[in-house]
């Protein structure tokens, strides 16, 4: 039997941080063992907020290079830039004709982003393009962080509606959201998610940050006025956030962390958290430095070529269903 398919995407603007890694990219790498994986650097999504056309190609290239350094394996998985595969945009248009505006108005990320960057039609229909990404290859599963749950529900809804109107074409994709790490919080405000677009760089740790920066960021992470290391999101969000990171990098349970660091004060715990993050990210930094830029470009172009070929077969079936191809 054919292997099940996984699809996921990441935006290329802003540097990839440990929230992206612990919430989604760890799964991207792990799922390659079992699934037919398709991974996309979603540059068309990224331009829904203002971009600098001179800097954009470099940022996009860098995102691809970080993914390769983290272990996305072009020998096993498809990796490419979304804009190089025009079937994404074509399917998004077709799906937009069955998405209701009422449903689009309920998308919470649109409201947040529109408040910050101002709204435009592309930002509004962003979730439809995401649905098209996923449905284009008939993905069965989608590894993402918690914040993408609502977009996955919309994707399933559009798939069901398309199937009901035009005939069974799309499987309903399942989200793969980790139990721990699905929502890593900002180091400066543990009530807000760690984000690429946060103006304060002290709020996040990047995959390529050097050890001194990581130590500084963890040391300055906002906690609370107590001294006890205890897992309690309600009362101790800052500490709980650091505990999640420690747990994900070491495999230790919350009970084990409490037993080891509970009464030792935050200083000692933070030092341990920083050292584990540094050790966990070191292989990615080394792999990144070893990658050749021309080779990255070659991999991305070969990925797009293969993706276009695969996508065209699927997309022709959609055209036939809706009456665009005789
Ligand atoms: P940001 O909000 O950080 O600017 P984003 O969420 O808009 O970025 P992407 O960079 O495309 O978008 O996210 C890539 C993946 O990382 C998605 O699956 C997303 O759910 C996940 N992710 C983003 N931030 C976090 C976080 N703080 N914790 C866990 N997962 C996250
Ligand atoms: N909206 C996502 C990025 C994204 C995506 C996708 C994720 C675009 N297309 C398809 C999974 C599947 C985000 O993280 N902001």
Among 58, 32, 35, 56, smallest CA distance to 46 is for 56
Which atom of ligand 1 approaches the CA of 144 most closely? 18
Give per-residue pLDDT as tens, 198-208. Answer: 999 999 999 99
Using the predicted structure, report yes or no on whether residue 113 has a pLDDT greater than 90.
no
**How far is the centre of ligand 1, averaged over its atoms, from the C-alpha of 56 (Å)?**
19
Answer whether 143 contacts ligand 1 (Cβ < 6 A).
no
Which atom of ligand 1 approaches the CA of 183 most closely? 28
Q: Give helix 293-322 / helix 121-136 axis angle, nearest 10°.
A: 90
* CATH code of 298's domain: 3.40.50.620
Do 35 and 163 sit in the same domain of this protein? yes
Do 32 and 166 sit in the same domain of this protein? yes
Do 167 and 279 sit in the same domain of this protein? no
**Total number of domains constituting the chain:** 2
Give per-residue pLDDT as tens, 170-183. Answer: 999 999 999 999 99
Facing residues of 38 across strands?
A: 7, 78
Q: If pLDDT is split at 50, 70 and 90, which confidence band does 197 have?
A: confident
Residue range 116-140: mean pLDDT, rounded: 95
In a domain, 220, yes or no: yes
**How far is the centre of ligand 1, averaged over its atoms, from the C-alpha of 205 (Å)?**
13
In the chain, what is the straight-line distance between the N-terminal and C-terminal CA atoms, in Å? Answer: 31
Do 80 and 163 sit in the same domain of this protein? yes
Do 240 and 304 sit in the same domain of this protein? no
Which atom of ligand 2 approaches the CA of 145 most closely? 14
Q: How far apart are CA 307 and CA 40, in angstroms?
A: 10
Any residues with Cβ below 6 Å from ligand 2, and which? 7-9, 11, 42, 45, 130, 133-134, 142, 144, 148, 151
**Mean pLDDT of the chain, nearest integer:** 96
**How far is the centre of ligand 1, averaged over its atoms, from the C-alpha of 37 (Å)?**
19
Give per-residue pLDDT as tens, 8-48. Answer: 999 998 799 999 999 999 999 999 999 999 999 999 999 99
Using the predicted structure, report yes or no on whether residue 255 has a pLDDT greater than 90.
yes
Answer whether 187 contacts ligand 1 (Cβ < 6 A).
no
Do 168 and 275 sit in the same domain of this protein? no
Q: Whose CA is nearest to atom 9 of ligand 2?
A: 130
Q: If pLDDT is split at 50, 70 and 90, which confidence band does 117 have?
A: confident
H-helix or E-strand spanning residue 35: none
pLDDT at 24: 98
Q: Whose CA is nearest to atom 11 of ligand 2?
A: 8
Which atom of ligand 2 approaches the CA of 127 most closely? 1
Instruction: Point out the residues that are catalytic.
Output: 113, 193, 196
Residue range 182-194: mean pLDDT, rounded: 97
**How far is the centre of ligand 1, averaged over its atoms, from the C-alpha of 193 (Å)?**
9
Give per-residue pLDDT as tens, 82-111. Answer: 999 999 999 999 999 999 999 999 999 998
For the chain, give the percent of residues with pLDDT over 90: 94
Do 223 and 151 sit in the same domain of this protein? no
Using the predicted structure, report yes or no on whether residue 56 has a pLDDT greater than 80.
yes
The b/e string for 146-166 (b: 16+ C-beta within 10 A; e otherwise) is bbbeebbebbbbbbebbeeeb
**How far is the centre of ligand 2, averaged over its atoms, from the C-alpha of 283 (Å)?**
26
H-helix or E-strand spanning residue 39: strand 36-41
Q: If pLDDT is split at 50, 70 and 90, which confidence band does 326 have?
A: confident
Do 132 and 66 sit in the same domain of this protein? yes
Do 40 and 168 sit in the same domain of this protein? yes
In a domain, 92, yes or no: yes
In a domain, 194, yes or no: no
Distances (CA, A) of 77 to 40, 227, 300, 303, 306: 10, 46, 12, 9, 11
Residue 73 φ/ψ, nearest 5 degrees: -110, 105
Using the predicted structure, report yes or no on whether residue 1 has a pLDDT greater than 80.
no
The b/e string for 266-297 (b: 16+ C-beta within 10 A; e otherwise) is beebbebbbbbbbebbeebbeebeeeeeeebe
Q: Whose CA is nearest to atom 12 of ligand 2?
A: 8
Q: How far apart are CA 130 and CA 148, in angstroms?
A: 10
Do 52 and 143 sit in the same domain of this protein? yes
User: In which domain, by residue range, is 233 found?
Assistant: 201-288
Q: If pLDDT is split at 50, 70 and 90, which confidence band does 288 have?
A: very high
Residue range 314-320: mean pLDDT, rounded: 98
Answer whether 24 contacts ligand 1 (Cβ < 6 A).
yes
The SS3 of residue 114 is: helix
């Amino acid at each position: 039997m054919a292997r099940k398919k996984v699809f996921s995407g990441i935006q290329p603007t802003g540097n990839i941080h440990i929230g992206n890694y612990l919430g989604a990219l760890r799964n991207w790498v792990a799922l390659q063992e079992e699934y037919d994986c398709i991974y996309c650097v979603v540059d068309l999504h990224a331009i829904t907020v203002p971009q600098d056309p001179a800097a954009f190609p470099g940022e996009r290239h860098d995102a691809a290079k970080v993914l390769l350094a983290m272990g996305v394996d072009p020998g096993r998985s498809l990796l490419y830039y979304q804009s190089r595969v025009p079937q994404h945009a074509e399917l998004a248009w077709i799906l937009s004709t069955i998405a209701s505006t009422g449903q689009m108005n309920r998308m919470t990320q649109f409201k947040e982003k529109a408040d910050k960057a101002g709204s435009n039609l592309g930002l509004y229909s962003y979730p439809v393009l995401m649905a098209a990404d996923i449905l284009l290859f008939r993905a069965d599963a989608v590894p993402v962080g918690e914040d993408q749950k609502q977009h996955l529900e919309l994707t399933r809804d559009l798939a069901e509606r398309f199937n009901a109107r035009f005939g069974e074409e799309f499987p309903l994709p399942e989200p793969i959201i980790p139990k721990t790490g699905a929502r890593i919080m900002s180091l400066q405000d543990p009530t807000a998610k760690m984000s690429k677009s946060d103006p304060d760089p002290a709020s996040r740790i990047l995959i390529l940050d050097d050890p001194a920066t990581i130590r500084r960021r963890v040391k300055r992470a906002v906690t609370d006025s107590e001294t006890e290391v205890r897992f309690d999101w309600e009362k101790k969000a800052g500490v709980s956030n650091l505990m999640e990171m420690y747990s994900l990098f070491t495999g230790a349970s919350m009970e084990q962390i409490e037993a080891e660091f509970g009464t030792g004060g935050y200083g000692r715990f933070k030092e341990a958290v920083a050292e584990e993050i540094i050790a966990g990210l070191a292989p990615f930094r080394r792999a990144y430095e070893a990658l050749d830029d021309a080779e990255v470009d070659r991999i991305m172009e070969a990925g797009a070529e293969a993706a276009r070929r695969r996508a065209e077969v699927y997309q022709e079936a959609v055209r036939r269903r809706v009456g665009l191809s005789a």
